[in-house]
Amino acid sequence: MGRYLREHAEVVAGRRVFDLASGSGLCAIAAMRASAASATASDIDPFAIAAIRLNADANACRVSTIGRDVLDEPPPEAEVILAGDCLYDADLARRVLPWLLTARNAGIDVLIGDPGRAHLPVDDLVELANYEVRTTSDLEDLQRTRASVYRLR
């Protein structure tokens, strides 16, 4: 997702961006570096919220954080939602996908970054880009894999 936003800044430039399940803050930071009007990063893990703040500061980006679970709430006030690797778990995917579809139906552009997880709703997606990416062998069983960025139809 970070690489895609670097190559296609027009997707977020001047827009309010919401980064769901932000982890390190990477997608929100990439959006701000691509001239987003604002970026809000959400994650339920307090360590992620701390990391997002540190990484945003290290990259001289202003990123707001939300530490609660937003998946039972209406879609955020945003023009673009970024969802990077949120579909790695069946239970999470069951909650994330309807929330993203509701956001899409409300007119929000939804981009999903995914390294080929089993829960990807391929029929609802348009592939925008496919990249070879490095992985961390602490977490994954490969050193490199392919990952795609999709738009929710």
Ligand X SMILES: C[S@@+](CC[C@H](N)C(=O)[O-])C[C@H]1O[C@@H](n2cnc3c(N)ncnc32)[C@H](O)[C@@H]1O
CB of 126 to ligand X, least distance (A): 19
Count CB-CB contacts under 10 A for residue 144.
9
Helices (H) and strands (E) in the chain, counts: 4, 7
Under the criterion CB under 6 A, does residue 81 sit at the interface with ligand X?
no
Q: Which stretch binds ligand X (CB under 6 A): 9-17, 44-52, 126-134, 144-152?
A: 44-52
Under the criterion CB under 6 A, does residue 69 sit at the interface with ligand X?
yes
DSSP structure class, residue 16:
E
Under the criterion CB under 6 A, does residue 92 sit at the interface with ligand X?
yes
Give Cα separations from 153 to 74, 134, 148 (angstroms). Answer: 19, 28, 15
Phi-psi region of 150 (alpha: psi -120 to 50; beta: other; left: phi over 0): beta
Under the criterion CB under 6 A, does residue 140 sit at the interface with ligand X?
no
CB of 48 to ligand X, least distance (A): 4
Residue from the set 15, 18, 113, 115 that interacts with ligand X by CB under 6 A:
113
Under the criterion CB under 6 A, does residue 26 sit at the interface with ligand X?
yes
CB of 33 to ligand X, least distance (A): 15
Phi-psi region of 4 (alpha: psi -120 to 50; beta: other; left: phi over 0): alpha
Under the criterion CB under 6 A, does residue 65 sit at the interface with ligand X?
no
Report the interface residues with ligand X, using CB under 6 A.
Answer: 21-24, 26-27, 42-45, 48, 69, 71, 84-86, 88, 92, 113
